A and B are shown apart, each in its own frame.
Chain A
Amino acid sequence: MMDDRRARFEAQVLPHLDAAYRYARWLSAAPGDADDVVQDAILRAFRGFDALRGTDVKAWLLAIVRNCHLSAQRQTQRRGYVPLPQEHDAEDAYALVASAPGPEALTIRRDQERALGRVLAEMAEEQREVLVLREIEDLDYRQIAAVTRVPIGTVMSRLARARAQLRTRWLTTVEALP
């Protein structure tokens, strides 16, 4: 039965489910992990929904996703499980690139996107996350600062470093493609 609170939650929070999913995918080492993180985050958001008043729902939800990711990561480390982040990340990135429909002319662009996804996946999490929040989720500096819990000045310098690094790696990887 759909009560009023559930309906409000679905209207206000679930429009950001795709953003939560993409962010979790870029944070997590394996796709299955991202699904668990997103589900955990949505349930936590549902429990805390009443405390949310006149606020920025997308940034609020992404901050919860990030916290869920961090606690899942801590649990994994406590179990002594050592993931292979770089390889998993790179494989994961392929799946994140939506396949563009269309003629063969798009194949080259798709290859470039895949390569860009791989470059992004191989970057340090701290840098990858500001790029994803700014360029893919379109958050402003204040929202990014709130989600990642660092000052705005740090957001700006992290973004600048991440972009410079991505540019260098992209030039050597993506644009060297045939």
Chain B
Amino acid sequence: MNCPESLRTQAYFDGELDAARAAASERHTAQCAECRALLADLAHLRGGLRNLGRATAPAALRARIDAALDAAPRPRAEPAPGAPPTWRTRPFWWGALGGVGISLAAAALAVVVLLPPLGTALEGQLVDAHVRSLLPDRLIAVVSSDRHTVKPWFAGHADVSPTVADFATQGYPLIGGRADSVDHQRAAVTVYRHGAHVINVFTWSAHGIAPAAHALRLGYRIACWRAADLQYCAVSDTGWDELDALVRLIEQAGMNR
């Protein structure tokens, strides 16, 4: 690999570039046969490797862990001996700050701790609601792949009437809906499946500051957008590409209705 841009092409493939850098990378790739071949190779390898990722923890191990947790003493608050001493959402920056001096790092830490970015409380609510929905029997109140069943159900159970459609042919079958509390409202939650992943799309009446378009929290991805006077947020453990594809489908369906 001799092209000096190959690391950036790789970062493009991994979805690590912002829009401007991604566009620059695409312009480069259009000119560079080596980077086009690299992208094809990377996609090929990813296809093969993803198939290796389906192993799950055996039931016996789960049972062992469950028993060990039962036997674990009630802990005092102490850091996990195996965990890094300071673990934050942006460890890269802590690494970058490492050489600057403890007081500066401490000041920066205080700023981050004291001034959480806007919308984090909301993101927390969304992820909590998503995680709750994955508990047994919590996911769906109305089970249906038919939007003519799901949408009227919302009328009686939520404060808003969101776009609902079945995208089974595009790989996102509608599996049902439920109501949940978000931002002090009765939000409509439309539930889609994509492969083995569940995607919860929360909709409530938009007001105040819009949440960030993309957020990562506790390992879950949150994609938010507004349409008319409604706030939509899709939450899942899929990758960004898969989540954004569903966002586009719902936006298009909303414009066509």
Contact = CB atoms under 8 A, between A and B. Distances in A.
Given A142-B91, A157-B7, A21 B61 contact: yes
B72 A113 contact: no
Contacts of A174: 48
A18 B49 contact: no
B72 A46 contact: yes
Interface in B129-154: 131-132, 134-135
Contact of A51 (B1, B16, B78): B78
Interface stretch (A73-81, A82-90, A133-141): A133-141
A156 B87 contact: no
B75 interface: yes
B110 interface: no
Contacts of B237: 15
B183 interface: no
A80 B58 CA distance: 30
Interface in B109-143: 116, 120, 124, 131-132, 134-135
B115 to A, nearest CB: 13
A11 interface: yes
B14 interface: yes
A126 B212 CA distance: 35
A54 B116 contact: yes
Interface residues of A, number: 75
Given A39-B65, A56-B219, A135-B50, A21 B57 contact: yes
A115 B10 CA distance: 25
A47 B89 CA distance: 20
A108 interface: no
Contacts of A22: 53, 55
A156 B72 CA distance: 39
Contact of B64 (A35, A51, A156): A35
Contacts of B170: none
Contact of A47 (B54, B75, B120): B75
B237 to A, nearest CB: 8
A45 interface: yes
Contacts, number: 187
B80 to A, nearest CB: 2
A127 interface: no
Contacts of B1: 160, 164
A55 B218 contact: yes
B253 interface: no
Nearest to A152: B92
Contacts of B78: 47-48, 50-51
Nearest to A57: B218
A54 B120 contact: yes
A20 B55 CA distance: 11
B184 interface: no
Contact of B54 (A58, A98, A160): A98
Interface of A: 6, 9, 11-12, 15-18, 20-22, 25, 35, 38-52, 54-60, 63-64, 67-68, 71, 95-98, 100, 109, 112-113, 116-117, 120, 131, 134-138, 140-142, 145-146, 149, 151-152, 156-157, 159-160, 163-164, 166-167, 170, 174
Interface of B: 1, 6-7, 10-11, 14-16, 41-42, 44-46, 48-58, 61-62, 64-65, 68-69, 72, 75, 77-84, 87-92, 95, 116, 120, 124, 131-132, 134-135, 216-219, 237, 239
12 contacts: A39-B61, A39-B68, A44-B83, A46-B69, A50-B75, A56-B89, A98-B56, A116-B48, A116-B49, A116-B52, A146-B91, A151-B95
Closest 7 A/B residue pairs (Cβ): A48-B80, A58-B219, A136-B53, A98-B54, A21-B57, A135-B49, A67-B82
